[in-house]
Amino acid sequence: MHEYSIVTALIEECERHAAANNANEISRVEIKLGILSGVEPELLRTAFETFKLEGICRRAELVMNIQPLVLSCLICGETTEHNERSVICSHCQSGQTKVLDGEDMLLMQLELVQP
């Protein structure tokens, strides 16, 4: 389950930001999670709850904003949003599309607690 390694990297990034801002705790971690990121939201949440227990994020709330898949069709020119893992244009059924958004996992915001 690669969600564990992703959460480990996320918590390390949170620790770096906290140290750079002289914070001793993080109360909220907000991420953007694309549908095509390859990350399962519930597995990520479980991994976060497991790994945060002894660190700077121990009381942090994880907020996940699920990013729909945004496609641009190279045939009909339409831009569409999809809430499923399909790269087929919903207007013309073409498979010749370009992904504009929905592939990434990004750390969007942290709420830091300073001493």
DSSP label of 77: -
Residue 92 assigned ligand-binding role: yes
Residue 57 assigned ligand-binding role: no
Q: For residues 76 and 105, give the distance between their C-alpha atoms in angstroms, rounded to a whole number.
A: 29
Residue 14 assigned ligand-binding role: no
Q: For residues 48 and 39, give the distance between their C-alpha atoms in angstroms, rounded to a whole number.
A: 13
Burial 52-91 (b: 16+ CB within 10 A, else e): beeebbeebebebeebebbbebeeeeeebebeeeebbbee
Angle, CA 79 vertex, CA 74 and CA 82 arms, to 5° = 110
Q: Which residues are annotated as a binding site?
A: 2, 73, 76, 89, 92
| Known binding-site positions for Ni(2+) | 2
Residues making up the annotated binding site for Zn(2+) are: 73, 76, 89, 92
